[in-house]
Amino acid sequence: MKLSYIPKELLHIILSYDGRIKYRHGNYVNIIHKNDERYNIITPIVNKKIEILQNIELSRDGGFYFEFGFDTYKGIGLVYDYNFSYPNKFEICYYDVKESGHILGSEQIRTIYD
């Protein structure tokens, strides 16, 4: 039996068999199956992004402030500050508190943009 046309219902069943292809908004899209080992690669990235988004501080003047530490290097991190500490300034600060154990006396590299 030759088919020149495969009914959409059958096509959906075939493509959704292993969960790697889904039909969304009129198109077939590839997805990572929930049991795929690639989730182990992207999970730390997604978790770090969620952590950063949950810790953003906003000012009334439209500014923001957030910082994050690097998971693999404890005591080292970055700070992003726009219109939060200084009006109309954007600051990026690298900090290293490994030696001193606290922010005072730590190594800091600051870059401030007008």
CA 87 to chain centre: 27
Quote the pLDDT of residue 16: 63
Is 14 in a helix, a strand, or coil?
Answer: helix
Q: Per 3-state DSSP, what percentage of the chain is helix, strand, and coil (rounded to 5)?
A: 20, 30, 45
Quote the pLDDT of residue 103: 61
Quote the pLDDT of residue 39: 80
Quote the pLDDT of residue 78: 92
Is 36 in a helix, a strand, or coil?
Answer: coil
Instruction: Please give the DSSP secondary-structure letter assigned to residue 35.
Output: T
Kindly tell me the burial class for residue 12, based on how many C-beta atoms sit within 10 Å of its own C-beta (0-12, 13-18, 19 or more).
middle
Quote the pLDDT of residue 60: 87
Instruction: For the chain, give every domain's residue range.
Output: 7-36, 42-113
Q: Compute mean pLDDT per 10 residues along the chain, 114 residues long, and list them.
A: 74 67 80 78 88 91 90 88 91 85 71 88
Quote the pLDDT of residue 23: 76
Quote the pLDDT of residue 105: 62
Q: Which helix (H) or strand (E) holds 46?
A: helix 39-54
